[in-house]
Amino acid sequence: MASDDKRANRSPISLQGIEIVGAAPEGAEQTRTLYVLYADTETERDILRAFAEDALKKSAAASIAWVRETKERDSLQHEGLAGELDGMENALVTPVGVAWKPKSQQQQSWRAIMGWTHLIGSDFRQRRVAQGKPERCAIVIGEAATLGELRLRHTKHTAHDDAGAEAGAFADYVALQAALTIERDARSVTGETIKYPRYVTRALWGRNSFQAQLEKIAAESGRPIADVREEAQVCLKELVPNARAPHISAAWAFSRAVCRLGYEDKLVYDKQKVAEIRRMALTRPLALVFTHKTHIDGVAIILATRDESFPLVHMIGGDNMAFAGVGYMMRRAGAVFIRRSIDSPVYKVVMRQYLSYLMEKRFPVSWALEGTRSRNGKLMPPRFGILKYVVEAAAKENMRDLTIIPVSIYYDLIAELSDYAVEQTGAKKRKESLAWMADYLRSLRKPLGRISFGFGDPVVIDTTTPEIASAVAAGDDSFSVHLQKFAFEASANANAVTPMTPTALFMLILTGAAPRALTETEISRRMLALRDWAKSRALPVTNDIKKLDIDRIQSVAKAIIEMGVVSCYDSGPEPVYSIAPGKHFEASYYRNTAIHFFVTKAIAELALAKAAAAAADPMETFWAEAAEIRDLFKFEFFYPPLDQFKADIEEELRRYDPDWTHRVKAGEARDFLAEMTPLVSHAALRPFAEAYLIVADVLLDARIAGDGSDKAAVVDAALNYARQALLQRRIASEESIGKLMFENGFDLAANRNLTSGDGATLAAARRAFRAQLDDLNKRIGVIADIAEAPADDEFAKETPQYSNGSARDLGANPPH
């Protein structure tokens, strides 16, 4: 195939019809003016050559120099610039470049965006447009600066002992500023509004602080400085994305297309809140940390922030997602792919320097708070890795207002739950690739409802305080304590804005009743009771919950049945609903998205059940048991500080009876417990308690997992043993079988020194641990019996359409 150069018509390009945007500075004809001409292609060079000839004719005091981008990423080459700058004192430096207009200013069409993308950098296409449709081309005259201003800015970041090196560095700096100015001022022509960084590698490399840290590594390690710098260049190329406006727009359009495969077109969020966050992003270093439920999360963040005109948000993710095709496009759209394991001191320095640059220039960063997708629906413990680098980077630049915005992303339905279910049986996760991605996109082609966002209270970090600054400098345990505090505060704030959804309540009810099926009347009564419970406590709920009625409950049931998670048996006198065979994991996943709202009440119920059987001082028993259960599930849930936790329990119980402590002391704890409807501990905590009991059984039986010191062996043994326990009906349902719960159960045992130690002492401690969990599960069973006992028919009397077997179906023609 002929090259672009051979195919292009090399006849001169006329400036007729080509718009000139901007103007030369006043007095340019009398003042010494240096036009820095920024051209990437021969066509752009021809256009600017014609412009320069005209400018030189008008002013004898004018001169020109050329700048172009090389094939090397973030690299500029200049011709004649150093010579023109040498000896100049009072001169104006005016950048001039060429911009290409898309066919339409509306950059929503994938076809239009890709056409524009192909035009940028294609000499053949540009020449054809310039000669045939010159109105799509514009000469951009950028904002001028005096030579003195440029020298002053340059010396702030760089310094050279060698005069020749300083002169060359200054010419590089002027070339960089010219290119950046043209990139910025061309947005008025292209219609692009997004702010994104350019020539980052050059800017970072010229920083004194960066070079000083590389020299320090060389001195401490004994490596040649040239070797360290070579590694730093490799790390920069690996880390720093080569953002381009067309690719950013392409990623925007791609994100919209992916979300529309199964989800509704409109993202659901508080626009006023988002506008407030955008204002923060323009004025302070900001990070968006999101809850991670599905592969759509990052795509949804890109879509929402672009829709609301944020500066380019740099999505940080693992390099496992940088596979062929996707990695190429997303790197050019601002994605930062990092190594899964970081042990190179050079890589760490490069990452800190790059993050500090982004925050200094007010480009938000974003990453998954949990570091990986939640495989069970509830918020997982946060990872500190990226947060550590962000806080360190902010501290090195003395940033006072690093702002962490917790973002809760929640979905009506999630497509990849079947994959999560398989992983929880011990199977390996499928490796990401183009084939994997194609399969994943196909899985989204079904009605999945809405994508919604909640934005939690920001966590503001002043890295200049002596306490934090010294902790960062020391890098010791005190810094880890601060990181944990920041991360857990962000997690709690994210949980606080993750609302209850109708799907979550529906699944809470059915998993609590399992293995028993429920009638339409029972489901409706319980959903409305949970709605009223949530409303009375001003808990965050979706609009569907606020307006919940019989018709909305029916629509929820229909959607869940169509997803195959719930089944309906309608051949009897009245339809009954239950978790579909093999779908208990999916059901528990949806329930777990709202489980954090029920944990405090569930613990209070179980503590009351313990107090009811206390031989002496039931109140002391109550509070001791509440604290014990809190500790028992510390690897599963986030809690407020202990004093606040106790205050929350007191507030909950006072809602049922202001004199509840008197009743407990009087031996009425069981009666009081029965009045605390709706009861939730069996629905919220039973799978975790049963899973931990399985781990305790495995630790007690050397035949199953040896001495119990190997985590992987214990978890594998628990997966096998739990399947037997299910067949023997010693656990309630399949949802109590899960790799993550068994791992957390082992971690709890290790935390309590139950995985290794002296033989006799260890065996006794393990038996006590097993007895504690057995007692807890028995109390859960008692509460389940109370909660699931047949209710009177008052609801049916008040709601005639549910009074007999001909009641309306919750789902239209539900399958068996």
74 band by pLDDT with thresholds 50, 70 and 90: low
DSSP H or E segment with residue 405:
strand 402-411
What is the b/e burial string over 736-759, where b = at least 16 CB atoms within 10 angstroms of the residue's CB? bbbbbbbbbbbebbeeeebbeeee
d(CA 723, CA 350): 49
Count CA atoms within 13 Å of residue 171 on its CB side.
21
Q: Measure the CA dihedral 364/315/248/265, to 10°.
A: -100
Which residue, among 376, 380, 638, has the nearest Cα to 511 in the 3D structure?
Answer: 376
Q: For residue 452, what pLDDT band results from cuts at 50, 70 and 90?
A: very high
| pLDDT confidence tier of residue 157, bands split at 50, 70 and 90 | low
Dist CA 114 CA 528 (whole Å) = 50
Q: For the residues 412-430, what does the mean pLDDT come to?
A: 80
CA distance 237 to 405: 29
What does the pLDDT average to over 319-324?
A: 81
Provide the pLDDT confidence category of residue 309 given band limits of 50, 70 and 90. confident
- Find the mean pLDDT for residues 624-631: 97
Helix, strand, coil share of the chain (percent; to 5): 55, 10, 35
DSSP symbol at 240: S
Task: Please say whether the beta carbons of 792 and 705 come within 8 A.
Answer: no
- Kindly report the number of other CB atoms within 10 A of residue 93's CB atom: 26
Give strand pairing partners of 286: 403
Segment among 71-75, 568-572, 653-657 with least mean pLDDT: 71-75
The whole-number average pLDDT for the span 159-187 is 75
Quick one: pLDDT at residue 677? 94
User: pLDDT band for position 373 (50/70/90)?
Assistant: confident
In this structure, what token pair is assigned to residue 88?
Answer: 């100049």
Tokens of 311: 């500066």
Q: Are 694 and 721 a contacting pair, CB within 8 Å?
A: yes
Residue 795 scores a pLDDT above 90: no
DSSP, res 310: P
Cα distances (angstroms) measured from residue 498 to each of 25, 70, 276, 403: 54, 48, 19, 20
Between CA 327 and CA 191 the distance in angstroms is: 26
The residue count for the chain: 816
**Phi-psi domain of 664 (left: phi exceeds 0; alpha: psi -120 through 50; beta: other):** alpha
Over residues 2-9, the mean pLDDT reads 45
429/95: higher pLDDT:
95
Angstrom distance (rounded) from CA 339 to CA 319: 6
Position 167 scores a pLDDT of 64
User: For position 808, what pLDDT does the model report?
Assistant: 31
User: Do the Cβ atoms of 598 and 508 come closer than 8 Å?
Assistant: yes
- pLDDT, one tens digit per residue, over 491-538 is 989 989 999 988 999 999 999 998 899 998 899 999 999 999 999 999
Q: What is the pLDDT of residue 165?
A: 55
Pick 214 or 640 by higher pLDDT: 214
pLDDT digits (tens, 9 = 90+) for 246-297: 788 888 889 999 999 999 999 999 999 999 999 999 889 999 999 998 889 9
**pLDDT score recorded for residue 783:** 95
- Angstrom distance (rounded) from CA 443 to CA 438: 9
Do 777 and 689 contact (CB within 8 A), yes or no? yes
Nearest to 533 by CA among 591, 452, 601, 604: 601
pLDDT of res. 30: 65
Q: How many CA atoms lie within 13 A of 19 on its CB side?
A: 15
Residue 444 CB neighbour total at 10 angstroms? 18
Q: Alpha-carbon distance 757 to 493, whole Å?
A: 39
Residue 106 has pLDDT above 80, yes or no: no
Residue 70 has a pLDDT of 77
- The crossing angle, in degrees rounded to 10, of helices 245-260 and 110-119 is 160
* pLDDT above 50 (res 813): no
Contact assessment for residue 349 and residue 206, using Cβ atoms and an 8 Å cutoff: no
pTM of the model: 0.80
At 815, the pLDDT band (50, 70, 90 cuts) reads very low
**Sign for the pseudo-dihedral over CA of 773, 778, 784, 786:** negative
Q: Are strands 76-79 and 314-318 parallel, antiparallel or unpaired?
A: unpaired
The model's confidence at residue 345, banded by pLDDT at 50, 70 and 90, is: very high
* Stronger pLDDT, 551 or 388, i.e. the higher one: 388
Determine how many CB atoms are found less than 10 A away from the CB of residue 287.
30
Backbone dihedral angles phi then psi of residue 667, each to the nearest 5 degrees: 85, 20
CB 332 within 8 A of CB 247: yes
Residue 369's φ and ψ, nearest 5 degrees, are -55, -40
Please give the residue that has the higher pLDDT: either 1 or 625. 625
For residue 47, pLDDT beyond 50: yes
CA 526, chain centre distance (Å): 33
Distance CA(312)–CA(300), nearest Å, equals 14
Amino acid at 608: L
Q: How confident is the model at residue 805 (pLDDT cuts 50, 70, 90)?
A: very low
For residue 374 the two structure tokens come to: 């939640």
pLDDT, mean of residues 758-776: 93
Q: What is the mean pLDDT of the chain?
A: 86
Write out pLDDT tens, residues 542-562. Answer: 888 888 888 888 888 888 888
Tell how strand 137-141 and strand 19-21 pair up.
parallel
Name which residue leads in pLDDT, 148 or 166: 148
pLDDT of 802 strictly over 70 = no
311, amino acid identity: P
Amino acid occupying residue 654: R
Round to whole Å and give the CA distance between 86 and 174.
12
Statement: residue 799 has pLDDT above 70: no
C-alpha Rg value of the chain to the nearest Å: 32
Which residue, 589, 637, 594, is CA-closest to 420? 589
When mean pLDDT is compared across 63-77, 227-241, 436-450, 692-706, the lowest value belongs to 63-77
Between 808 and 574, residue with greater pLDDT: 574
String of DSSP letters for 548-611: --HHHHHHHHHHHHHHTSEEEE-SSSS-EEEEPTT-HHHHHHHHHTTGGGTHHHHHHHHHHHHH
Backbone φ and ψ for 731, nearest 5 degrees, come out as -125, 155
Smallest Cα–Cα separation from 556: which of 511, 506, 500?
Answer: 506
Give the model's pLDDT for residue 72: 66
Bridge-based pairing state of the strands 459-461 and 518-519: unpaired
CA distance linking residue 658 with residue 672, whole number of Å: 12
Q: What is the DSSP string of 117-173?
A: HHHTT-HHHHHHHHHH-GGGEEEEEPPPEEHHHHHHHHHHH---SSHHHHHHHHHHH
Helix or strand holding residue 66 (H, E): strand 62-69
Separation CA 54–CA 655 (nearest Å)? 83
For residue 112, is pLDDT > 60? no
pLDDT at residue number 804: 32
Would you give the end-to-end CA distance of the chain in angstroms? 61
What number is the average pLDDT over the span 446-462? 92
**Which tokens belong to 713?**
């062996």
Strand partners, 402: 461
Beta carbons within 10 angstroms of residue 133's beta carbon: 12
